[in-house]
Amino acid sequence: MNLENKIKSMRKLKGLSQKELCDGICSQGMLSQIENNKHIPNIQLITKLCNRLGISLDELNIQTVNDLDIKQDLKEKLASLFYQRKYEELYQLIKSHRLNTYFFTKTDQQLILFYEALYYGFVKEEHHKSYEMLEKSLSFTFHSKKQQLTYKEILIINNLAIMMNKLNMLQDANDYFELILSNVEENQKIENEEKLTIVFFNIANAYSKNGNYEKALEIAIKGIEWANKPNISTQIRLNYLYYEKAYNEQKLGIANYMESYKIAYYLSINANDDFLKKYIQSKIIVD
Domain map (residue ranges) of the chain: 3-62, 71-191, 211-287
CB 35 within 8 A of CB 5: yes
In tens, the pLDDT along 166-214 reads 999 999 999 999 999 999 988 888 988 999 999 999 999 999 999 999 9
In tens, the pLDDT along 60-91 reads 655 555 666 778 889 999 999 999 999 999 99
Encoded amino acid at 226, one letter:
W
Which CATH class name applies to 71-191?
A: mainly alpha
Can you give the pTM of this predicted structure? 0.78
CB 206 within 8 A of CB 173: yes
The tally of CA atoms less than 13 A away on the side-chain side of residue 184 is 27
Q: CB 172: neighbour CB atoms within 10 A? A: 14
Query: In the chain, what percentage of residues exceed pLDDT 70?
Result: 93
Mean local confidence (pLDDT), 142-150: 86
Q: What is the DSSP letter of 184?
A: H
In tens, the pLDDT along 11-41 reads 888 888 999 999 999 999 999 988 888 887 8
- The domain 3-62 is classified under which CATH number: 1.10.260.40, 1.10.3470.10, 1.10.1040.10, 1.20.1440.130? 1.10.260.40
Query: Which residue spans within 9-168 are E strands per DSSP?
Result: none
Burial class (CB in 10 A: 0-12, 13-18, 19+), 123: middle
Distance of alpha carbon 141 from the chain centroid: 13
Kindly calculate the radius of gyration of the chain based on its CA atoms and give it in whole angstroms: 23
Specify the range with the lowest mean pLDDT, choosing from 66-70, 214-218, 239-243, 270-274.
Answer: 66-70
Comparing 3-62 with 71-191, is the CATH topology the same?
A: no
Kindly report the length of the chain: 287
Residue 213: partners with Cβ closer than 8 Å, 6 or more residues away: 207, 248, 251, 252
